[in-house]
Amino acid sequence: MADAADWPSLIIELAKSTKSDWVALSQGSEQLTIRELAERMQKTAAALRDGSGPVMISTPDALLHTTAVLGAGAAGRPALMVDSRVPDQLALEIYRRTRATALIGRDLPGLIALSERELNERLPIQPVGRSGDAINTMLLTSGSTGVPKVVQRSISADFAASHNLQILGYPLGEGDRYLLMVPFASAVFITILMGVIILRSTVVIGAFGEDLGQRFADQHISGAYCVPTMLRLAQLHDGLQGPGWDGLRGLMVGGEQLDAESRERLAKYFPDAYLFYGMSEHPNVALARPQDLLERPGCVGLPLPMRDLRFVHPGTQDDVEQSKEGQILLRGPELFSGYVGEEPIGDWFATGDIGYRDKDGFLYVTGRVNDQVNVGGNRVSTVEVSALIDAHPEVLSCAVVAIDDPVWTTKLIAFVVRAEGAELLADDLVSWLKSRTTAYRIPRAIYFLDRLPVDTSGKLSRQTLVKWAIEAEKCSM
C-alpha cells in the first residue's frame, strides 16, 4: 500500500492488488467483497461530489455506513458519524452545529436523507485528492448534556490509526473472520474496522449475545473486540471455554479497565490478548498484555511508539514530579485536529485522565478529572448526568453517584429533590431522559429526597450518597 495516503486510495489499491475478491464486510445475509466495497464507495462519491460540507451518516446498517464514510472521503467531504440511536432532537442539533449539508441513513424533521438508490445509481469516479490535514471524520464525544463535543480528525490521523493492527503484527490475514459487536459510528471504525480490512480479513458485524463462544464457533470467528462487560456476561454462560473460544487467535479488549477477576481469567485463557487504551481524540495510546495487568494493577500498558506523554497538575501546564500522579497530556500521530466550534488544541491534548508512568515506562490511569466512570464500556460523567436531570422543570436539585456493579462495572444512582409542589415519579423522569440521551447514561435507580445531604463545610456529601446508594441496592436484591 505504498502509494496510498488516504482510505479511498487504500481501498482501491486493495481491490486491484488482491488475487481473489475476498469478502471485506458481512452483516447477516448481506456481504460486500473488497471490489464491491470499492465500487460502492466510488458511486457514493459521485453522488456527493457536487456538494460541500460534512455528510452526516447515521444508520444501523454497517454496510451502508462503511460505504458512506468512505464515499464521503472520496468526494472530498468530512464524514460526520452519528450513532443511529441518538435521539432526533439531538441529531438535528449536531447537524446544524457542524454545518452538515447532506444526510445518509435516517430521516430527520425537515431533512431528507439520500437513499441507497441515489448513492448507487451514479457511475464510479476516482477519489478527490486532499491534503493530509483536511478533516476526514467527525465523531461525537460521550457528553450527556446539551450537544456532545464533536471531534474532528484529519486524513493523516485516521490513516495512521487504521494501520496499527498491521504494525503491531495482529495475527489475522486473508480468510480470517473478525466479529465486531460494538457501535461502529465511533473510533472503532477508524481503529478496528479499517484495520481489519487492511489485513485482508472479513469484518463480521453482529450484536452481542451471552452465548459468545458458540457464535464464534458457528461463524468461524478468529478475532473479536470485547469490552470487559461482554466477557463477564459470557463467562457466566460458558466460562470462556469451548471450541469457539479455543479457535480465537486475536482477542482485543478495550473500553474500560479490567477488574481483578477478569484480569486473572484473561491471563489464564488468553495470554496473548491485545488490551488497548485510547480515546476518540487519539485512538491508540498504549498496549498491554493480560500478564502486564496482573503484575501491575491499574496499568494500561506501554505507550506505543511516537506517543509523547506529560503529567501535569490538573487544569495547568505545570508538570508534576516524576512518577507522581497528574493529568495526562498527550501528542502523537493519531491526534485529532480539535473540537468543532473551539480553538485548535495546540501541541498537547489534555486527556481528562489522571495517571502516571512507573520506572519501567508503563502507563497507569488512576481516575478522571471530571468524575467520569465506565458503564458497560461507555464513559459517563456523573456530573453531566446530574446536570441533565437538573434541567427537568420539576427537579429542584440532583446528585448522581456511581457504585460497583458485578456485570456493568458501575451503575448510576440518582438522588433527586423535587421542585415545590411537583409530583414527579421515577418512571416519568426516566421517560424524559430517554428522549434526551442514550440508555447507558440513564441512572439504574432514582431516589427522591427532601434535601441533599451536606458535610460540615456545607458542601454536598457524596460519601453519604454513595453509602445510601449501596444500602438501597442491598435492600432491593
- Convert the pLDDT of each residue in 122-181 to its tens digit: 999 999 999 999 999 999 986 434 458 999 999 999 999 999 999 999 999 999 999 999
Alpha-carbon torsion angle 88, 142, 212, 188, nearest 10: 100
Helices (H), ranges, 347-461 = 382-390, 426-434
Classify strands 274-279 and 250-253 as parallel, antiparallel or unpaired: parallel
Read off the pTM.
0.80
What are the b/e assignments for 320-329, b being 16+ CB within 10 Å?
beeeebbbbb
pLDDT at residue number 387: 82
Beta bridge partners of 276: 287
Closest CA to 139 of 172, 111, 161: 161
pLDDT at residue number 144: 36
Classify strands 177-180 and 202-205 as parallel, antiparallel or unpaired: parallel
pLDDT at residue number 457: 45
Cβ atoms of 73 and 66 within 8 Å: the answer is no
Report the half-sphere exposure of 118 (CA within 13 A, side-chain side): 12
Helices (H), ranges, 364-445 = 382-390, 426-434
Q: What is the pLDDT of residues 391-415, one digit of tens each?
A: 899 998 899 999 988 888 889 999 9
Distance CA 354, CA 10 (A): 37
Q: What is the mean pLDDT of each run of 10 residues along the chain (477 residues)?
A: 82 88 95 97 96 95 96 98 92 95 95 93 94 96 64 97 94 95 89 95 93 94 91 88 92 82 88 93 95 90 96 89 90 96 90 91 83 80 84 91 87 93 95 91 94 69 88 79
pLDDT at residue number 257: 73
Closest CA to 409 of 365, 444, 459, 452: 444
Closest CA to 206 of 33, 42, 63, 28: 28
C-alpha cell at 39: 465500487
